[in-house]
Every structure is written in C-alpha cells, then in structure tokens.
C-alpha cells in the first residue's frame, strides 16, 4: 500500500465563472450567464490570497472565464485547472457527488415558487411527525429572514417553520429549546425517506435560539439528511480497500455517512480548519481526507455580502498556508468547489459556474479544463485504488 495521502478540500460555493450551460440556470428570473464568484469579488476589492494564488487560483479564473481577478496574478507553481459540472443541478449534493465520481443520474425534484410550495401529502406528513395541527412558511425563503419573520409565531404556536429554495431541499427551522433539538432532528430524519422517494436531495434541520425577532440566531447544530449516492463514491472505494477516511464538516451528511471512518465536526469553519491542519500532521499513510468549508456559501454567498466573502477567502488562504506546511512528499492536496454563489449576483441562490482545481504535491502542472469526476479519479490514482466510479479520468 502506498504511503501517499490524499486531501480533498471543497471551498463551498467558490466558483470561478464560465460554466458553458449557465444560461439554463436562474436567479430571480435572470440566467446565471456571466456569474463569477471569485472574479467579481476580486473586481470589487482586490484579493490577497498568496498561497492559493501561488498554486494557480488567478490562472484558473482566467482559464475558466477569461476574467482577470485583481490581486490574483501569480505565476502558478502548483497543479491548476478548472472543472466543469455535468449534473443537472447547482447544489451541494450534485457537486460533491460528482467530484467523488458519481454524476447525478436523475433530475432533482424542486418545489415551485408558489404558496403553498409543498404538496398536501408532504405537509400532512410533517404535521403527523411533529404532532402539530399545521406548519409555518410553506414557501420559498431565506433561512435567516424566515426565522426573523416567523420565529415569534413559531414560539406561540409550536408549529415548525418549513421552507425551500431553488435547491432540491426542504428545510425545517425550530427553536432548539422550545421545540427541542432532538425532536427537530427526529422530525427531519423520519420525513427524509418520503422526500428522497420524490428525488428531493435533502431535508435540513435548522435549529435556532432567541426570544424575539431582534435576537433569533441559528445554532451550529444544523443537520442534513441527504439522499444516498446511487453508486460507490471515492469514499466507498477507499473504505472497501481497507483505507482510513476522514470527513471534515458536513461531508458525512452529504454522503449519508457512507464510506467514512472518522467524522470531524465543529461549530464554525475556524474549528474545521484546526481539524484539517491536525490531520495534515496526523492522517494515516494511504488515507483520504475529504473536507467541506461551508461558511463562504452560508454566511456570505446567499446573503450577497461581497466584503464578508472577500474576508473569508483571505482568512482561508492563511489556513491553506498552515495546512500545506504539514504535507509530506508523495501527498496530494486538491482545493476545489462544488458550485458558485456570486455575492454580486441577482437573487440569493447558487450560481452555475466552473470551479477551481488547485493542487499541491505534483509541482507546476497545468491540467486545463477537466470534469468534476476527474478530481476523484486523480485522488484514487494517488492512493493506488481502482477507479471504479461511474465517470472520471485521472489528470495526473
């Protein structure tokens, strides 16, 4: 067995524009054509990201979209390229599954932007499981805004707040103390099989705390109940071959906790960063570490916060520098993303974009335009594991 270790780090929503089918995806009726998360942030305020730019971030933006990203002009010294998605979605499961070698073989079910959004049988099932006479919301909504709008009514009635978005998802918000965290998790867990049969990708529990509109705040105890991938991912392949796998952040939820040896969670991306750096020092020979850093997306992309997103990118670049210093000869670390979420764009939803492919451990190596699944195939090659995923060709 090889001593080489593989690290796959997904910067959630850090897209770089240029998706060839962006015209098929929309935000508030506007096609995603021209969306560019990193490029437009850099144009608003030049970015200082020396570590990832040295790997090839600025070059990847230019390759993906032709856009010049101010502040990102380094000559690439790492493996670099841009990846294009084929799955018919711009959501978390689609992106992560395809990176892990399993393009989504079906069309997701999306709830209409109407009131009510959910069919009567879904609403009835939620009420049955929650033990309530009704639900609040039943619409498309922003997670933070809907809690502010309906949190006080939730406390009065005890009814769960149920909402959706442009993603294939049903989210349920409830007060962590008044409704109960375990009760909320049980509700979402028991509802999930019905939604998965409909090809809805995730049921998400969104607990919050507070006593009034002015101080309602979501807690870190979010839990995603995701539909299982339809075939083996790189995590399944690695564990089947006796390798240790580490999942950081919400990777466990995204892959229905399949193929995961050790799960590392935290209350923030700062906590997850410490797990990543620790595993850079400690991860076993031949192991696979798969990480997701969600706050780019959840805290800044959906909220269309350009300065906040820029600051998060620059903060993570310092994390990347600390992590890269822990790696050993033979290791491969790849930084990528699952979709875009351009904070300069119309609406509040994800944007269809290409994503960066930035690698440490193989010297200066331009890989050009690749497929999402090529990333997983390349990690399997480093680990000397069989490429039995449905798609993907190693670019090493």
Q: What is the DSSP letter of 384?
A: T
- C-alpha span between 19 and 40 (Å, rounded): 15
| Token pair in block for residue 11 | 């910067």
The two three-digit tokens of residue 54, written as one number: 């040295």
Q: Can you tell me the distance from the alpha carbon of 394 to that of 377, in angstroms, rounded to the nearest whole number?
A: 5
Distance CA 338, CA 52 (A): 17
Ligand-binding annotation for 32, yes or no, is: no
Task: Name the nearest CA neighbour of 143 among 232, 217, 53, 61.
Answer: 217
DSSP state of 330: T
Q: Does the annotation flag 281 for ligand binding?
A: no
Residue 195's SS3 state is helix
**297 known ligand binder:** yes
To the question of whether residue 23 is assigned a binding role by annotation, the answer is no
Please work out, in degrees rounded to the nearest 5, the angle formed at the alpha carbon of residue 36 by the alpha carbons of 34 and 38. Answer: 165
Distance of CA 220 to the CA centre of its chain: 16
Residue 57 is encoded by which pair of tokens? 């971030």
Give the DSSP letter of residue 112: -
Tell me the Ramachandran region of residue 180: left when phi exceeds 0, alpha when psi lies from -120 to 50, beta otherwise: left
Q: CA–CA separation, 363 vs 389, rounded Å?
A: 26
| Residue 140, φ and ψ in degrees, nearest 5 | -80, 140
275 is in an annotated binding site: no
**338 marked as part of a ligand binding site:** yes
Instruction: Report d(CA 110, CA 5) in Å as an integer.
Output: 38
Q: How far apart are CA 319 and CA 325, in angstroms?
A: 10
Mark the binding-site residues for Mn(2+), compressed into ranges: 12, 297, 302, 338-339, 350
Going by the annotation, the residues of the binding site are: 12, 297, 302, 338-339, 350
């Amino acid at each position: 067995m090889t001593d080489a270790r593989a690290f796959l780090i997904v910067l959630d929503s850090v897209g770089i524009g240029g998706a060839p089918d962006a015209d098929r995806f929309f935000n508030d009726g506007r096609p995603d054509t021209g969306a560019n998360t990193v490029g437009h942030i850099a144009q608003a305020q030049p970015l200082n990201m020396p570590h990832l730019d040295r790997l090839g971030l600025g070059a990847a933006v230019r390759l993906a979209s032709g856009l010049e990203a101010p502040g990102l002009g380094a000559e690439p010294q790492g493996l670099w390229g841009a990846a294009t998605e084929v799955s018919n979605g711009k959501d978390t499961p689609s992106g992560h599954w395809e990176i892990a070698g399993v393009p989504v073989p079906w069309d997701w079910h999306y709830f209409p932007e109407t009131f009510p959004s959910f069919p009567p049988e879904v609403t009835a099932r939620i009420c049955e499981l929650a033990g309530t006479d009704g639900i609040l919301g039943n619409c498309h909504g922003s997670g933070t805004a809907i809690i502010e709008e309906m949190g006080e009514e939730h406390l009065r009635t005890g009814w769960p707040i149920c909402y959706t978005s442009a993603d294939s998802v049903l989210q349920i918000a409830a007060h962590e103390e008044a409704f109960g965290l375990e009760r909320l998790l049980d509700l979402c867990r028991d509802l999930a099989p019905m939604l998965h049969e409909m090809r809805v990708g995730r049921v998400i529990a969104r607990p919050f705390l507070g006593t009034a509109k002015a101080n309602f705040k979501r807690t870190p105890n979010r839990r995603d109940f995701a539909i299982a991938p339809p075939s083996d991912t790189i995590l399944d392949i690695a564990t089947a071959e006796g390798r240790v796998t580490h999942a950081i952040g919400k990777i466990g939820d995204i892959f229905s906790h399949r193929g995961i040896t050790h799960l590392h969670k935290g209350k923030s991306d700062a906590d997850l960063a410490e797990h990543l750096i620790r595993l850079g020092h400690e991860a076993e020979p031949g192991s696979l570490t798969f990480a997701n850093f969600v706050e780019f997306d959840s805290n800044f992309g959906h909220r269309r916060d350009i300065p906040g997103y820029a600051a998060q990118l620059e903060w993570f670049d310092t994390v990347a520098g600390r992590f890269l210093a822990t790696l050993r000869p033979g290791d491969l670390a790849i930084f990528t993303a699952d979709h875009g979420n351009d904070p300069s764009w119309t609406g509040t939803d994800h944007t269809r974009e290409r994503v960066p492919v930035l690698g440490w451990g193989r010297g200066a190596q331009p890989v050009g335009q690749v497929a999402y699944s090529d990333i997983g195939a390349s990690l399997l090659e480093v680990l000397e594991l069989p490429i039995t995923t449905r798609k993907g060709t190693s670019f090493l």
